[in-house]
Amino acid sequence: MNTETLLEVRGLKKHFPLSRGRLIRAVDDVSFRVKPREILGIVGESGCGKSTLGRLILRLVEPTAGQVFFKGEDITALDRHRLSSIRRAMQMVFQNPFGSFNPKLRIAWALMEVCRYYGMSREQGSERIAALFSDIGLSGDLLNRWPQELSGGQLQRLAITRALLSDPALLVADEPVSALDVSVQAQLLNLLSDLRKSRNLTMLFISHDMTVVEYLCDRVAVMYLGQVVETAPATELFGNTRHPYTRSLIAAVPRLDTVEARDRPAPKGEMPKAAEELPGCPFAPRCPSAQSRCLRERPPVKEIAPEHLVRCFLVS
Ligand SMILES: Nc1ncnc2c1ncn2[C@@H]1O[C@H](COP(=O)(O)OP(=O)(O)O)[C@@H](O)[C@H]1O
Ligand SMILES: [Mg+2]
């Protein structure tokens, strides 16, 4: 494996059974690599499989097929003991800050419990918490407060603090700013960007919001119905958009500079439930440029520029 790869996902699939032998193909043959200190954005509409992908990477759900390599080690093959030691190095932050702390514990207790879990003494735990509070810009008097006394922005900073207590190499952030006000969102994004530098963090940043992804991420993977349809460095993806689905996502972003674009609809129609196996391109039924072949055959992945991969027959 390339030493410039921290995380590699190969042919990853997660199919959930439905009744009568049918399946939800939540994640359907996803492959990508993430370099150390890179922020990879995973973007797509609700239900396209982003959270399932994040949870597969931390092995919070078992894959139907495929592998996840972390620092060259296939974590899908690890036993419980080895897995728990590797979990310290991979942490997750979730969307809802209000549900992420036990309302019966003051913040200091909640954080100290995690330190104890990682085998730190009281002193070591206090030191680690104080250092992170200073990096993250949290005031020490939050430690004596109850979660329900705090704002969404404060709780999300604390959730990030908690995730960093084990000094992870990889942070999977699943819609971490989606529940916050826009002004607070920007502060959190800047914080994540600073933490990447100060703590050498690699991040998988999951979002349904193209604007946020463009602002924060180095590289972006666009998901549709369990598949990655386009991947590119962020400037390339937004400057040289090639997949019709990515185009429609970008066209749907409200722009402050043009009133008319604000009312432009998101991709026409709804993303179908990922139940049936589609023989062709998953986006073909909604694609404005689809040809008959797109409905019959699954397009291969093409590299159209360095690190710019597109799964579409119409792109050459
Ligand atoms: N535990 C589960 N059992 C059955 N279906 C699930 C489960 N988790 C997710 N799904 C389905 O998998 C698809 C992808 O879900 P999810 O990964 O949550 O998407 P996203 O995070 O992009 O909104 C959806 O159709 C969802 O209903
Ligand atoms: Mg989700």
Judge residue 96's burial from the number of C-beta atoms within 10 Å of its C-beta, 0-12 exposed, 13-18 middle, 19 or more buried. Answer: middle
Domain for residue 94, yes or no? no
Count of structural domains, the chain: 1
Whether 63 maps to a domain, the answer reads yes
Q: Which ligand lies nearest the alpha carbon of 56?
A: 1
Q: What angle do CA 1, 203, 199 make, to 5 degrees?
A: 100
Q: Which residues are paired to 41 by β-bridges?
A: 205, 220
18: domain range? 7-89+166-311
Residue 103, phi-psi category: left (phi > 0), alpha (psi -120 to 50), beta (remainder): alpha
Closest to 154 measured CA to CA, from 142, 144, 164, 165: 142
CA of 149 to the centre of ligand 1 (A): 32
pLDDT for position 275: 57
| CA distances (Å), origin 182, targets 30, 136, 152, 179, 289 | 31, 19, 12, 9, 35
Whether residue 38 is contained in a domain is answered as: yes
125 falls within a domain: no
Output the pLDDT for position 148: 96
Q: What is the CATH number of the domain that holds 62?
A: 3.40.50.300
Q: pTM for the whole thing?
A: 0.93
Calculate how far, in angstroms, residue 51's C-alpha sits from the geometric centre of ligand 2.
4
Ligand 1 centre and the CA of 134: distance in Å?
37
Rounded distance between C-alpha atoms, residue 30 and residue 2, angstroms: 19
With cut-offs at 50, 70 and 90, classify the pLDDT of residue 259.
very low
**pLDDT tens-digit map of 132-173:** 999 999 999 999 999 999 999 999 999 999 999 999 999 999
Q: Give pLDDT tens digits for 29-73.
A: 999 999 999 999 999 999 999 999 999 999 999 999 999 999 999
- 134 C-alpha to center of ligand 2: Å? 30
From the CA of 45, the nearest ligand is 1
Q: Is the pLDDT of residue 115 over 50?
A: yes
Does 50 sit in the ligand 1 pocket, CB within 6 Å?
yes
Ligand 1 atom closest to 274 (CA): 25
Query: Is residue 271 included in any domain, yes or no?
Result: yes
